[in-house]
A and B are shown apart, each in its own frame.
Chain A
């Protein structure tokens, strides 16, 4: 069942130039990295 549901959703490529442009133009205020949780 997991495979059947998972196969329905397709990954969106994150290396699209438009996204890179958005990331370089606007900085999200961050408090840290998420891997700092549960340490």
Chain B
């Protein structure tokens, strides 16, 4: 596919980011302890592979990507979206000597990756001239949003993520 210089630059950055995300997820799948978190990762993982493969096709195929990503919707699992029902959050402190990550560290890394990737897709989408790549970035942004919402809700339920209490009226 014929790409403008800035499209090639952005695709390269996004593809390298995908290599990093997929490798990290593969590690997490082998190390997470909580079955609920493992199920989230297993559900997301094949779509990250598809997302990566589409970028490789855009870079390598003259006719662009032939695979598709589904349009994901936000799936709400928390009962109360305005405040936590936990009386306190489990404390956290950055570890300075690490042999293996724990679940909280892995899920935090994954959420931050999804949020960063989503912003980068949105930013890149606005700059793309090719309509197919614009569309791809738009759908990948929606996937990042949906996956980040899954992970945020998991973290909120566990008390790993603070969010504001409802304002009393």
Which residues of A approach B to under 8 Å, CB–CB?
Answer: 1-3, 5-7, 9-12, 14, 19, 22-23, 25-38
A12 to B3, Cβ gap below 8 A?
Answer: no
Q: Give the size of the chain B interface in residues (CB under 8 angstroms).
A: 38
A30 to B68, Cβ gap below 8 A?
Answer: no
B8 to A26, Cβ gap below 8 A?
Answer: no
Which residues of B approach A to under 8 Å, CB–CB?
Answer: 1-3, 8, 11-12, 15, 19, 22, 39, 42-47, 49-50, 52-53, 55-57, 59-60, 68-75, 131, 135, 138-139, 146
Q: A19 and B45 in contact (CB under 8 A), knowing A2-B59, A11-B53? A: yes
Q: List 22 A-B contacts (CB under 8 A).
A: A2-B59, A3-B60, A6-B56, A6-B60, A9-B19, A10-B56, A11-B56, A12-B22, A12-B53, A14-B49, A14-B50, A14-B53, A19-B49, A26-B42, A27-B43, A29-B74, A32-B70, A33-B68, A34-B71, A36-B71, A37-B71, A38-B135
A29 to B72, Cβ gap below 8 A?
Answer: yes
Residues of B within 8 A of A22 (CB): 42-43, 45-46
Residue of B nearest to A9 (CB): B56
